[in-house]
């Protein structure tokens, strides 16, 4: 082999050896970077700042479910930096997303706050950001689900409630037609037909009133209203039926107090409470209506000595169409919307309704509304303070709890 050929061969061999070494070095560095990325617990740049700016609860957790970074909204769920995830379900979702290397989404019930805080329905979305890090984002859907459930219940219940009187009207009309030759039977059926028509009209009216109260529009007739005026209207509207039930209404407490609101809406709300109290009171008993000022709040309490409300029903008593006694409801013709109207009417006025009840001892519904100063013209006219309680026999129009 010539000297030149030998030199070229040596150069070629050296180049191949050098390239091989370079490839080995490149592969080694790449493997090291992968190993470092796989074992790194460092939060990528910018993610911590993004988390701190999020309104939803969110966190970055490592393979041991330790929180490395979290948004401030995550704290009520027990998700805080440098601490482990407290929920087994959250740890499971994070592990599932990390192992599958894909987005994992589930709906869970998690505690927000320390016991006895209520559980919240949340959607959990977990995404793997690196082999060891997982991003978890929570979204509270409790209120959305509650509103959706209320909508479904409202549609279902309304359809059911409307079918009853509509079906009765149809059957009674057929009965009248078949008894055309019997004037006595026609009168009986016509009377029942009228009652069903009134029940249908009452139900339709109450549904419309409840829908109006739940609408986002402001009440149109807002003014400074005398509580005495509202109470007088509510009691007088219940007089005929309550007298027929043999129930006496006793009105007492403070006078000349004022609230800001719609007099008609407040009067209907109080009338519903009085109607309920009479409906659940035995013949010859009394229903008390008392007014009291507590700091900057006016409290109007309606008390009966009737059958009371079981504790299990007290949480649902203000729901639409909910009745504690279906048989009594059928007898009195109640729609099951009275207390729901009361609740929403009072809430629209910035107040609340409280309930105390014991089975066999009776119930007390208390409306609490913000007190306002008496208008300048409140002292005009003839006002005489009564030292003794007003007593009047009053009935109700069949509305029940």
Determine the distance from the C-alpha atom of residue 377 to the mean position of all C-alpha atoms in its chain, rounded to a whole number. 40
Whether 290 and 370 share a structural domain? yes
Same domain, 208 and 325: no
Asked if residue 28 is part of any domain, the answer here is no
> Which CATH number covers residue 308?
3.30.565.10
Residue-range definition of the domain harbouring residue 335: 222-376+385-393
Same domain for 206 and 252, yes or no, is no
What's the confidence (pLDDT) of residue 386? 43
pLDDT score at 298? 92
Do 170 and 120 have their domain in common? no
> Does residue 31 lie within any of the structural domains?
no
pLDDT of residue 381: 46
Between 258 and 390, where is the model more confident? Answer: 258
Confidence of residue 398 (pLDDT cuts 50, 70, 90): very low
In a domain, 205, yes or no: yes
Per-residue tokens: 276:
């309920």
3-state secondary structure of 293: strand
pLDDT at 13: 43
* 252 falls within a domain: yes
- Measured CA to CA in angstroms, residue 172 lies from 126, 166, 175 at distances of 61, 10, 5
Tell whether the model's pLDDT for residue 101 goes beyond 80: yes
Per-residue tokens: 387: 């030292």
Structural contact between residues 226 and 259, judged by C-beta atoms closer than 8 angstroms: no
Q: Which residue has the higher pLDDT, 86 or 138?
A: 138
CATH code, domain with 188: 1.10.287.130
Of 107, 140, 173, the residue that ends a domain is 140
- As a whole number, the mean pLDDT across the chain is 76
Q: Which of 161, 186, 214 is the last residue of a domain?
A: 214
pLDDT of residue 138: 93
Residues 168 and 313 in one domain: no
Tokens of 311: 């504790």
Q: Both 370 and 256 in a single domain? A: yes
d(CA 144, CA 248) in angstroms, rounded, equals 44
Q: Is the pLDDT of residue 206 over 50?
A: yes
Q: Which of 90, 123, 140 is at the close of a domain?
A: 140
> Does residue 322 or residue 17 have the better pLDDT?
322
Residue 29 reports pLDDT greater than 90 = no
CA 193 to chain centroid: 37
Weakest-pLDDT range from 142-151, 198-207, 213-222: 213-222
> Do both 314 and 358 map to the same domain?
yes
Residue 384 pLDDT > 50: no
Q: How large a percentage of the chain has pLDDT more than 90?
A: 15
Q: Which helix (H) or strand (E) holds 330?
A: helix 326-332
Residue from 279, 303, 319 nearest 366 by CA: 303
pLDDT class for 143, splitting at 50, 70, 90? confident
Q: What is the pLDDT of residues 286-330, one digit of tens each?
A: 899 999 999 889 999 999 988 888 877 777 777 766 655 544 444
First CA to last CA distance, the chain: 114
- Are both 132 and 232 inside the same structural domain? no
Q: Which residue has 């059926």 as its token pair?
A: 189
Q: Does 150 reside within a domain?
A: yes
pTM above 0.85, yes or no: no
Q: How many independent structural domains does the chain possess?
A: 3
Same domain? For 226 and 194 the reply is no
CATH number, domain containing residue 52? 3.30.450.20
Pair 209, 182 in one domain: yes
Is residue 399 in some structural domain? no
For residue 136, pLDDT over 60 is answered with: yes
Q: Are residues 258 and 187 in the same domain?
A: no
Q: How far is residue 203's CA from residue 2's CA, in Å, rounded to a whole number?
A: 114
| C-alpha 236: how far from chain center | 33
CB neighbourhood size of 350 (10 A): 12
């Amino acid at each position: 082999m010539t000297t030149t050929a030998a030199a070229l061969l040596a150069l070629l061999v050296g180049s191949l050896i050098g390239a091989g070494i370079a490839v080995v070095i490149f592969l080694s560095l790449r493997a090291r970077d992968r190993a470092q990325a796989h074992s790194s617990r460092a939060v990528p740049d910018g993610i911590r700042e993004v988390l701190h700016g999020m309104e939803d609860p969110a966190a970055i957790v490592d393979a041991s479910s330790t929180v490395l970074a979290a948004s401030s909204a995550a704290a009520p769920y027990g998700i805080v930096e440098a601490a482990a995830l407290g929920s087994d379900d959250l740890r499971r979702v994070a592990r599932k997303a990390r192992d599958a290397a894909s987005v994992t989404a589930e709906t869970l019930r998690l505690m927000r706050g320390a016991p006895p805080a209520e559980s919240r329905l949340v959607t959990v979305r977990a995404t793997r950001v690196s082999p060891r890090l997982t991003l978890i984002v929570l979204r509270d859907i409790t209120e959305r689900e509650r509103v959706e459930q209320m909508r479904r219940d409202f549609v279902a219940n309304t359809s059911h409630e409307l079918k009853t009187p509509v079906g009765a009207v149809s059957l009674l009309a057929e009965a009248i037609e078949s008894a055309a030759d019997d004037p006595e039977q026609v009168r009986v059926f016509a009377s029942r037909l009228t009652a069903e028509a009134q029940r249908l009209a009452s139900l339709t009216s109450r549904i419309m009133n409840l829908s109006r109260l739940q609408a986002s529009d402001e009440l149109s007739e807002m003014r400074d209203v005398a509580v005495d005026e509202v109470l007088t209207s509510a009691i007088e509207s219940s007089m005929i039926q309550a007298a027929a039930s043999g129930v006496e209404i006793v009105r007492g407490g403070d006078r000349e107090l004022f609230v800001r609101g719609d007099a008609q809406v407040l009067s209907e709300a109080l009338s519903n409470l009085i109607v309920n109290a009479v409906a659940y009171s035995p013949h010859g008993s009394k229903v008390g209506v008392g007014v009291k000022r507590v700091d900057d709040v006016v409290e109007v309490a309606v008390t009966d000595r009737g059958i009371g409300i079981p504790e299990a029903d007290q949480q649902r008593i203000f729901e639409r169409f909910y009745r504690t006694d279906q048989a009594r409801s059928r007898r009195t013709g109640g729609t099951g919307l009275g207390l729901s109207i009361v609740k929403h009417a009072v809430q629209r006025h910035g107040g609340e309704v409280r309930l105390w009840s014991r089975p066999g001892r009776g119930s007390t519904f208390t409306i609490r509304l913000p007190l306002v100063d008496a208008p300048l013209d409140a002292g005009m006219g003839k006002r005489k303070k009564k030292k003794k309680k007003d007593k009047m026999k009053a009935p109700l129009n069949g509305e029940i709890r």
